[in-house]
Amino acid sequence: MRIDVLTLFPEYFSGLVQASLLGRAIDAGVLHVEIHGLRRWTTDRHRTADDMPYGGGAGMVLKPEPFFAAVDALYGAVDARPRTVVLTPRGHLLDQRRVRDLADSGHLLLLCGRYEGIDERVHDGLAHDEISIGDYVLAGGEVAAAVVIEAVTRLQPGVMGNVHSATDESHADGLLEYPQYTRPASFRDMAVPEILRSGDHARVAAWRAQQALERTRRVRPDLYARWERRGGRNPHEPRPPSDDDIDDARD
């Protein structure tokens, strides 16, 4: 997968693309990231990227010309453009379903806003999607772009060590994840639940299912209600073998 980022602050991303998961994905050739400084496509000697809002009001608005010049220079023809996403608090809320959809794109261009926003013609003329990472306002889209990069990278084939990790986790199935423990079995008077040490896989699965449900109901009643509306199947719960499993077993 390739991800391009257009930002006023390219230096923001320099540590990020070397770190841990992203660094490994890049080294493995699964991910290619290009960070482009927006000021490269400004034309005046002060490298001005923003201006006052028409109609008045506080703050500054990012000008359209550098965005369009950058996209023209980087990709040329309209049909050669990557899927283009503006990070903005007014966008669709990012959730795991949207992450999966973005992760399937092959090539993403992330446009980072700053100040009071980006000239609307950038949204109209360049963006396929507008995405917010939460109902709060950041100083700019850079942190949000980093969130998108990390979330889509870990879904790329071969990036996660354990193939089950991406499906067996919070949000993959609409529920929050059950509690996890590792050694030692007792630490500062806090013991690992006995059931997890019992070796009884069916009881472990049932306990995890119940924990996931309880936690979701308590912490995220909105997710719980949606999960119930969708039929309420808990994938952590053991299920009867399906035809697929039987086919798998034959292979």
Q: What does the binding site for ligand ADE look like in residue numbers (CB under 6 A)? A: 87-89, 113, 132-134, 136-138, 140-141, 144
> Which CB sits closer to ligand ADE, 54 or 136?
136
Residue nearest to ligand ADE (CB): 144
Rounded least distance, CB 88 to ligand ADE, Å: 5
In whole angstroms, how close is the CB of 67 to ligand ADE at the nearest point? 15
Task: Report which of 40, 24, 11, 15 is spatially closest to residue 156, judged by C-alpha positions.
Answer: 24
Percentages (nearest 5) of helix, strand, coil residues in the chain: 40, 20, 40
Give the three-class secondary structure for 47: coil
Stretch (H or E) spanning 88: strand 83-93
Distance, C-alpha 88 to centroid of its chain: 14
From CA 224, how far away is CA 214, in angstroms rounded? 9
| Residue whose CB is less far from ligand ADE, 113 or 174 | 113
132 vs 234 by CB, closer to ligand ADE: 132
Q: CB of 189: closest distance to ligand ADE in angstroms? A: 40
Please give the backbone phi and psi of residue 193, each rounded to the nearest 5 degrees, phi first: -50, 130
Minimum distance from CB of 23 to ligand ADE (Å)? Answer: 24
Residue 89 or 125 with smaller CB distance to ligand ADE: 89
